Structure 1
């Protein structure tokens, strides 16, 4: 088995939109399953606000990466 000791390890950039959206949907799924949120009129604004926040963080991260 050959080892790649000489090659530097490549790091992946964090995809903030995907990460935060995934966390949002996991949390919302848990809240729905535990019946903490039962009203769709509450769920929809929470989801839209969370996705908007994730998008904003992705834009900010992209701006800082390009500098």
Structure 2
């Protein structure tokens, strides 16, 4: 089932302004704009984006 922007905001824990900025800058998850302007996200796209966006906590010495 497609996710709404509100769903993604809750999953990621950022503000609407931050998600909008990431979208403008090409840094956010892939989104789909439906006829009428509604935005939806595929859960697998959000999960892949989250995984790719993780910062490694591994310390390199």
Pick the TM interval, shorter chain.
0.3 to 0.5
TM-score by length of 2: 0.33
Q: Greater RCO between the two (CA within 8 Å, min separation 6)?
A: 1
TM-score by length of 1: 0.31
More helix by share: 1
| Rg (Cα) greater in structure | 1
